[in-house]
A and B are shown apart, each in its own frame.
Chain A
């Protein structure tokens, strides 16, 4: 989990600098709204526009609900990251849930093992600028999203 220290390289080989980090624990449904507000605070601080703010918050909301529903909660790392000229928010969702058996199917629209619309994961991917998912069955899932200020 601790591989994201100060600098990490993304697939495009640009160096990301972490400007600020903040940890948030999710245990109950009541934690969702305070978490969203916290993300919004950070987004406002870096001057993200209203549309991107809403996209980021909605994506975060989807992933948090997944975490609560399938893994009974987990932890989220909120980071303000910077890449050359642009700032953004990176959220890392870590849970110790059952894991996702087939990530490829889970990323398809309309697929859900629960009774939801099945838009959470694919929707969150479309709403964020960068999206990575790592899931090990029986161990848990780590989802990382980045939303750039103007992206």
Chain B
């Protein structure tokens, strides 16, 4: 005689849910501060409902069955809302796993006289709920990954700001390592900005570049040549003493490029090229004019 486990569980839905709720409310780690008991009941009921509605004796052993799609969706939803409410992944996982105990207890009452069947169904349910628990983790990680991807995009966007420091003078502070992809972005935004502002001097500040190897130097030289082709002069500033020594040992020839140790000296040079003079206001002249 074979008992239909799924039918039996569906009949006992109320009992399963009550048992599950009882277990959850008993748990010392219940987060009443994050979720009220009523909300918790609604969430639990939704999950038990969806699970038992789709559960048959065939798909009980098949965790990848399409019947469970709805359940997986609900689980993802629960994982996302719980993550937003401030639950840790462990708490969400425990929430799903605790359904096991309720199911086992019900099954045990029903299958008292048939240990072989009980063992069999217990193993299956175990696997199924484990898979459900993993889904909540996957959803959590996926959410995190999306945040990381978005931030990566944002970082590339904000990491190459072209600043107009004066009429006709652009400055571009480079922070971090210059690789080929980054150089492309830097060069593009710099050349575009030269056109937009019709600037004649661009200052590349590399104080934030940790090490200048031959690849970085090559990228810098390329950027300088491209700027020259646009009719603008390029100054590289922010060359620290240790960088200067390393560049010399490497044998990189930067003698064709105007280099300065600091952004302010580069700016001073730019002023003199543009024949601008910046000086303190003379008080005496001021009073003479007013006489």
Q: Contact residues of A with B, CB < 8 Å?
A: 29, 32-33, 36, 50-51, 53-55, 57-58, 61-62, 65, 109, 116-117, 119-120, 122-123, 126-127
Given known A29-B179, A116-B218, contact A126–B250 (CB-CB < 8 A):
yes
Task: Assess whether B210 is in contact with A57, with CB atoms less than 8 Å apart.
Answer: yes
Task: Assess whether A55 is in contact with B249, with CB atoms less than 8 Å apart.
Answer: yes
B179, B218, B241, B246: the one within 8 Å of A58 (CB)? B246
Task: Assess whether A33 is in contact with B249, with CB atoms less than 8 Å apart.
Answer: no
Nearest CB in chain B: distance from A114 CB, A: 11
Task: Assess whether B177 is in contact with A117, with CB atoms less than 8 Å apart.
Answer: no
Q: Chain A residues with Cβ under 8 A from B215's Cβ?
A: 61-62, 65, 116
Task: Assess whether A126 is in contact with B177, with CB atoms less than 8 Å apart.
Answer: no
Q: Chain A residues with Cβ under 8 A from B213's Cβ?
A: 58, 61-62, 65, 120, 123
Task: Assess whether B210 is in contact with A36, with CB atoms less than 8 Å apart.
Answer: yes
Task: Assess whether B250 is in contact with A127, with CB atoms less than 8 Å apart.
Answer: yes
Chain B: CB-nearest residue to A65: B215
Q: Chain A residues with Cβ under 8 A from B212's Cβ?
A: 58
Q: Chain A residues with Cβ under 8 A from B252's Cβ?
A: 117, 119, 123
Report the contact-size class of chain B (Cβ under 8 Å from the partner): 10 to 19
Q: Chain B residues with Cβ under 8 A from A119's Cβ?
A: 214, 250-252
Given known A36-B210, A117-B218, contact A122–B251 (CB-CB < 8 A):
yes
A54, A109, A120: the one within 8 Å of B246 (CB)? A54
Q: Chain A residues with Cβ under 8 A from B246's Cβ?
A: 51, 54-55, 58, 127
Nearest CB in chain B: distance from A41 CB, A: 13
For the residues of A in contact with B, the DSSP-based class is: helix
Q: Chain A residues with Cβ under 8 A from B217's Cβ?
A: 117
B179, B211, B251: the one within 8 Å of A57 (CB)? B211
Instruction: Work out how many contacts link A and B, with CB atoms closer than 8 A.
Output: 64
Given known A29-B179, A122-B251, A126-B251, contact A50–B242 (CB-CB < 8 A):
yes
Q: List 4 tightest A-B contacts by C-beta distance, closest first.
A: A123-B250, A54-B242, A61-B213, A119-B214
B245 interfacial by beta-carbon distance below 8 Å: yes
Task: Assess whether B177 is in contact with A58, with CB atoms less than 8 Å apart.
Answer: no
**A53 CA to B218 CA in the complex, in Å?**
22
Task: Assess whether B242 is in contact with A62, with CB atoms less than 8 Å apart.
Answer: no
B243 interfacial by beta-carbon distance below 8 Å: yes
**A119 CA to B179 CA in the complex, in Å?**
17
**A21 CA to B170 CA in the complex, in Å?**
46
Chain A: CB-nearest residue to B247: A58
Known: A61-B211, A62-B250, A126-B251. 12 other contacts (CB 8 A): A33-B177, A51-B246, A54-B211, A58-B211, A58-B212, A61-B215, A65-B213, A65-B215, A120-B213, A120-B214, A123-B213, A123-B250
**A57 CA to B245 CA in the complex, in Å?**
13
Nearest CB in chain A: distance from B233 CB, A: 23
Chain B: CB-nearest residue to A122: B251
Task: Assess whether A54 is in contact with B214, with CB atoms less than 8 Å apart.
Answer: no
**A33 CA to B250 CA in the complex, in Å?**
19
Given known A50-B242, A54-B242, contact A123–B211 (CB-CB < 8 A):
no
B177, B179, B243, B249: the one within 8 Å of A123 (CB)? B249
**A50 CA to B249 CA in the complex, in Å?**
15
5 A-B pairs with C-beta separation under 8 A? A29-B179, A32-B179, A36-B210, A51-B242, A58-B213
Given known A33-B177, A126-B250, A127-B250, contact A51–B245 (CB-CB < 8 A):
yes
Nearest CB in chain B: distance from A110 CB, A: 9
Q: Chain A residues with Cβ under 8 A from B245's Cβ?
A: 51, 54-55
Task: Assess whether B214 is in contact with A126, with CB atoms less than 8 Å apart.
Answer: no
Task: Assess whether A32 is in contact with B214, with CB atoms less than 8 Å apart.
Answer: no
Q: Chain A residues with Cβ under 8 A from B242's Cβ?
A: 50-51, 53-55
Chain A: CB-nearest residue to B215: A65
**A58 CA to B250 CA in the complex, in Å?**
9
Q: Contact flags (1/0) for B219-243 with A, using CB distance below 8 Å? A: 0000000000000000000000111
Task: Assess whether A116 is in contact with B214, with CB atoms less than 8 Å apart.
Answer: yes
Q: Chain B residues with Cβ under 8 A from A57's Cβ?
A: 210-211
Q: Chain B residues with Cβ under 8 A from A29's Cβ?
A: 179
